[in-house]
Amino acid sequence: MKSLLLFTDGSAHPPSRIGYGAYLALSDLNADLEAPENSARVKRFENTSSSQLEIETLIWALRATRPVSYTHLTLPTNTNACCCGGGGVGY
């Protein structure tokens, strides 16, 4: 089974509506995190809010990693915006 573990997170500055999102994609939990291919990717987003940024970051990460080539995708999250439609616990 070919698995992908995709971690995403973001932080926005509400007054400026600018935020930064990041993702880390790992196909092996024992991967060497010092290896360049296992480094986190970061992107600046404009005209966004905290909740919107979380979704934008997830979409960006999914497009960048092409998870359709994997048989199992895990998306751990600490935000309700990505898993529960804004309500409920998403941990």
- Percent of all residues in the chain with a pLDDT value above 70, rounded to a whole number: 85
Q: How far apart are CA 14 and CA 26, in angstroms?
A: 31
Residue with tokens 């809010």: 49
| Residue 35: partners with Cβ closer than 8 Å, 6 or more residues away | none
Q: What does the pLDDT read at residue 91?
A: 35
Q: What does the pLDDT read at residue 17?
A: 97
State which residues of the chain have pLDDT below 70: 1, 79-91
Cβ–Cβ < 8 Å for 2, 27: yes
The model scores a pTM over 0.75: yes
| Residue 38: partners with Cβ closer than 8 Å, 6 or more residues away | 24, 26, 31, 32
Q: What does the pLDDT read at residue 38?
A: 77
**Residue 52, exposed/middle/buried by CB under 10 A (0-12, 13-18, 19+)?**
middle
| Residue 59: partners with Cβ closer than 8 Å, 6 or more residues away | none
Query: For 61-84, what is each residue's pLDDT tens digit?
Result: 999 988 777 888 888 877 665 555
